[in-house]
Amino acid sequence: MTSLAGAHPAAAAPAPPVTCTSAKPGLADKLERGITSALTDRRGTIAVGLHDRAANTTCALRPATGYDSASVVKLTVLAVLLWDAKNHDRLLSGREASLSRAMIIKSDNLATRMLWKQLGMKKVKGFLTAAGMNRTKPGANGYWGLTRITVTDQQKLLRLITARNAVLSDNSRDYILKLMSQVVPSQRWGTPYGVPSGISMAVKNGWLRRDTNGWRVHSVGAFKGRGHDYTITVLTHGNRDMNYGMNTIQRVAKAIHKELAAG
């Protein structure tokens, strides 16, 4: 998802420290060092979230900073659709299933626009309230890609997708994870980078260029196996181009996967 507007990357601001906690001795310190090292000399603004429920481990960097969502909001759109279907005790129609598949697997913008319009702002906001995603602000006037998101809320969404809860049914969660695991190969960059063998991967990425803050490049992912069950969110803006943002995210992801595997 892109616009034709150009921008120069934002100058690097003094970064707050990465903070991690873990029930495993030494793991938090290793993750803090690994993520900090991965971000050395990176320009722009980067936010990171990690939660490994199996290892009781979390990391955060700028968890409350807002970003234009770009296409990662498509996960929220699908969650709203499934939440609404659950509330009305119905299955998705063939049309809805086809649009959902295109929206997640191919990141199809037209499919997203159709579902966003079908759902309407009332249902989107209703889901956000039910999910506790209080810092997420839906894009106005049909601009779903300008929804404002934070690491905290994206991690809440991933938690709903990966663990039993009252908001999404088990079938809905399985459906979302299945589509995320079938994303086309060209869009499997980002948080899956460096994931060890034996760990399942589910991902959704987003990218958008605007006049201010350059390229937004984001990646959210869920990973499970070898004693781990974790989610990663990395949001960035101020990138000089899409590849720069992708590389930044992948440096962070590689450091996280490495330390969790070693831990």
The domains of the chain are located at 19-262
pLDDT band at 243 (very low <50, low <70, confident <90, very high): very high
**pLDDT digits 0-9 by tens, 184-231:** 999 999 999 999 999 999 999 999 999 998 999 999 999 999 999 999
**pLDDT digits 0-9 by tens, 52-93:** 999 999 999 999 999 999 999 999 999 999 999 999 999 999
**pLDDT digits 0-9 by tens, 2-47:** 443 334 444 445 679 999 999 999 999 999 999 999 999 999 999 9
How many CB atoms sit inside 10 A of residue 200's CB?
12
**pLDDT digits 0-9 by tens, 157-188:** 999 999 999 999 999 999 999 999 999 999 99
Place of tokens 């997203």: 112
What is the spatial distance between Cα 65 and Cα 153, in angstroms, rounded to a whole number?
11
Q: Tell me what pLDDT residue 5 has.
A: 39
More confident residue, 1 or 213: 213
Q: Tell me what pLDDT residue 1 has.
A: 52
What is the spatial distance between Cα 12 and Cα 87, in angstroms, rounded to a whole number?
45
Q: Which of 150, 212, 149 is nearest to 3 (CA)?
A: 212
Q: Tell me what pLDDT residue 6 has.
A: 39
Q: Tell me what pLDDT residue 15 has.
A: 74
| C-alpha distance from residue 244 to each of 61, 214, 238, 239 (Å) | 19, 11, 10, 6
What is the spatial distance between Cα 103 and Cα 74, in angstroms, rounded to a whole number?
7
Q: Tell me what pLDDT residue 148 has.
A: 98
**Token pair in block for residue 185:** 């190969």
CATH architecture of 19-262: 3-Layer(aba) Sandwich (3.40)
Q: Tell me what pLDDT residue 170 has.
A: 98
Q: Tell me what pLDDT residue 21 has.
A: 98
Average pLDDT over residues 121-141: 97
